[in-house]
């Protein structure tokens, strides 16, 4: 009998993802996004997201299986995002994963969404070094983590966002600049035509001694909004504003990540999450890691945003580590802190009956 094939299901926000992994190798995956349905509202609408997951889950699963040349009966274990995320959206994925696992008689594993982002890099670059530094940057999360064995060890938080995450900052400032949702890709695209030194935006918390690795982007968001308001009645130089905003965010993220690697003697930095797709974050991270002799690992663009492959990657690690499957009454935890890669709450514990 060959190594187990793990199906991963992701439905925490506005992407419905299914992926298949065996022995750390991606066999196939597919993603359906409801982004266009949310764009008119300038952000994700939970009810729309949940309904979109209901419609997309079966087609996405079929597409992933077809890409891998597999049948449903070939699946040996199922992993699913149980938190954090939108409650209704998570429920759709968990219900689907339970149905598949129980119908096939295979184990089910609950997975923390952010651990999925960390594991996504293994599908491109192989096992994570032990230890490694991980910078997670996404729409709702910005964290700097010390990671050892992802499947077995607790995840050490060196710093987290105190208010707006980097992705939130991009989305909110993009709206002020008149750019479309989602803001991150729009700021990246427009900013390539601008001067990153045109506006001196603040670098929040870069000199904070008590919390050297925490992040705060609300002040930067406000500064960008005030700068835009200062151009009332005049044409707003959006390209310069976008380039300068992007430079400030990339500067803060990479400066803190490299400093943490240096302080903790870690030779590998892994940058993951949706904002890891940002061109300036990538290029500045490469520049600073090269100068410090640090290996930089960033997943390919298609694995940076939410997807089922990353959840399957965690499930694959858990299965190979001999982790206990989820209980039959596994539930969701929409606000779960990242402590371990496995996240298998039951309703009484999660408070989300």
Whole-prediction pTM value? 0.95
The three-class DSSP label of residue 79 is: strand
Over the chain, what is the mean pLDDT? Answer: 95
Per-residue pLDDT, 36:
82
The residue that leads in pLDDT, 143 or 37, is 143
Query: What does the alpha-carbon distance between residue 190 and residue 351 come to, in Å, rounded to a whole number?
Result: 43
Confidence band (pLDDT; 50, 70, 90) for 350?
very low
Per-residue pLDDT, 39:
81
Q: What is the mean pLDDT of residues 243-256?
A: 98
Please, is 48 exposed, middle or buried when counting C-beta atoms within 10 Å of its C-beta (0-12, 13-18, 19+)?
middle
Summarised one tens digit per residue, pLDDT across range 2-53 is 799 999 999 999 999 999 999 999 999 999 998 788 888 888 898 999 999 9
Summarised one tens digit per residue, pLDDT across range 192-227 is 999 999 999 999 988 777 789 999 999 999 999 999
Residue 73 scores a pLDDT above 70: yes
Q: What is the mean pLDDT of residues 236-262?
A: 98
Confidence band (pLDDT; 50, 70, 90) for 348?
low
Rg (CA), the chain: 20
For residue 80, give the nearest of 8, 1, 137, 167 by alpha carbon.
8
Q: Are 3 and 23 in contact (CB under 8 A)?
A: yes
Residue 263 scores a pLDDT above 70: yes
Per-residue pLDDT, 352:
45
Over pLDDT 70: what percentage of the chain?
98
Summarised one tens digit per residue, pLDDT across range 157-195 is 999 999 999 999 999 999 999 999 899 999 999 999 999
């Amino acid at each position: 009998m060959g190594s187990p094939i793990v199906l991963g299901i992701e439905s925490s926000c506005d992407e419905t993802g299914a992926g298949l992994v065996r022995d750390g190798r991606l066999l196939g995956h597919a993603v359906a996004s409801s982004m266009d349905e949310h764009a008119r509202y300038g952000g994700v609408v939970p009810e729309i997201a949940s309904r979109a997951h209901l419609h997309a889950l079966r087609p996405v699963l079929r597409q992933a299986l077809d890409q891998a040349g597999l049948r449903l009966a070939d699946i040996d274990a199922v992993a699913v995002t149980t938190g954090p995320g939108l409650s209704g959206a998570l429920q759709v994925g968990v219900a689907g994963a339970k149905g598949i696992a129980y119908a096939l008689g295979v184990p089910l594993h609950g997975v923390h969404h952010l651990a999925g982002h960390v594991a996504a890099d293994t599908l491109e670059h192989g096992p994570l070094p032990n230890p490694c530094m991980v910078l997670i940057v996404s729409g709702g999360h910005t964290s700097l983590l010390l990671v050892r064995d992802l499947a077995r060890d607790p995840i050490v938080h060196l710093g987290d966002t105190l208010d707006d995450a980097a992705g939130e900052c991009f989305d909110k400032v993009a709206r002020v600049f008149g750019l479309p949702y989602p803001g991150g890709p729009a700021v990246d695209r427009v900013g390539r035509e601008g001067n990153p030194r045109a506006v001196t935006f603040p670098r929040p918390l870069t000199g904070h001694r008590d919390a050297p690795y925490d992040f705060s982007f609300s002040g930067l968001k406000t500064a960008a909004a005030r700068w835009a308001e200062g151009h009332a009645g005049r044409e707003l130089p959006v390209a310069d504003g976008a380039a300068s905003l992007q430079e400030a965010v990339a500067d803060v993220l990479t400066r803190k990540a490299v400093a943490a690697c240096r302080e903790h003697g870690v030779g590998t930095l892994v940058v993951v999450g949706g904002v890891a797709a940002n061109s300036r974050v990538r290029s500045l991270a490469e520049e600073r890691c090269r100068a410090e002799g640090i290996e930089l690992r960033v997943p390919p663009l298609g694995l940076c945003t939410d997807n089922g492959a990353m959840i399957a990657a965690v499930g694959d690690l858990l299965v190979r580590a001999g982790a206990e499957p989820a209980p039959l009454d596994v539930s969701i935890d929409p606000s779960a802190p990242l402590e371990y890669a496995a996240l298998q709450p039951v309703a009484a514990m999660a408070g989300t009956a």
